[in-house]
Amino acid sequence: MAIVVVIAVVVAMPLAERAVSELGLPLRYSDVIRRQAQEKRLDPALVAAVIYAETKFDPRTSSAGAVGLMQILPATADFLARRSGATTFQTADLAKPRVNIAYGSYYLRYLLDEYHGSLVLALAAYNGGEANVDRWEAAARAHGERMRIAQIPFPETRDYVARVLAERRDYRRTYPSQLGL
């Protein structure tokens, strides 16, 4: 009888650990995240962390009109569609996880390129807007500094950047095989 209990515990332990991980740090659409991250030369844990920070993997429309898992504004999506050469994009497509993750990943890559690989600036722009980040970065440069998280004037954006970076680390630790790390 004791051996049966030990075997049951050994078999159930990975399932229990996964359930606890899912409650604290969910991961959905890992195949789409991996594919988009690879296509856009992104860390899949970063994409997952942005989704988690934006919606905790519960797609919705925000009060500002941002749509889907990665909370993309229709105007941003239109810009990205034109930039990427998409010809059949419709705003309603953002409600589809596959499309939303593709556009959100494209936007992350665009921002990383715009800010010369600076993850802090790219994430700040994803949350607080490029125009704001451009102003903040110019002010930091005027003082001979590189902009750091602590210098982001918007508390929400400052917290967002710190949270995404921490969640990226947690996703890398918690889901290495699912994210293809």
Residues serving a catalytic function are 54
**Cα–Cα distances in Å, from 31 out to 36, 48, 51, 67, 111?**
9, 11, 14, 21, 23
DSSP code of residue 143:
T
Q: What is the spatial distance between Cα 18 and Cα 37, in angstroms, rounded to a whole number?
A: 23
In three-state secondary structure terms, 25 is: coil
Apex 157 CA angle, 127 and 102, nearest 5: 25
CA 157 to chain centre: 14
